[in-house]
Structure 1
Amino acid sequence: YQRLRFPKNEGMRIDFAYVSPALDARITSARIDRDERKGKGASDHVPVVLDVR
């Protein structure tokens, strides 16, 4: 964790989504939900969102 990196969109990415090869072939995009970190008492983790077709 490094202080004040989140507002600059800098720092380590510590959250991952591990999927099978079959599911990997169906993923159309992946992102983190930065809005979850903006709340009071937020964690240093964020949800990983996968769009699957």
Structure 2
Amino acid sequence: MTAPAPAPKVLVLRRADRDVVDFFRADGPGHLSRMHAVLRASVDAARAAQ
């Protein structure tokens, strides 16, 4: 069985605490992708718990 195609991305502008942004930026380029991965994992875990 294959996973469903991902939904189109939407532009979201939000503010974040400086230390959170600094944490993700510390690993270099790709910090927004890493932030998204954390959000995705949280959503997936919440859905699995339902």
Asked if TM exceeds 0.5, the reply is no
Using the size of structure 1 for normalisation, the TM-score is: 0.29
Larger relative contact order (C-alpha < 8 A, sep ≥ 6)? 1
Higher helix fraction: Structure 1 or Structure 2?
2
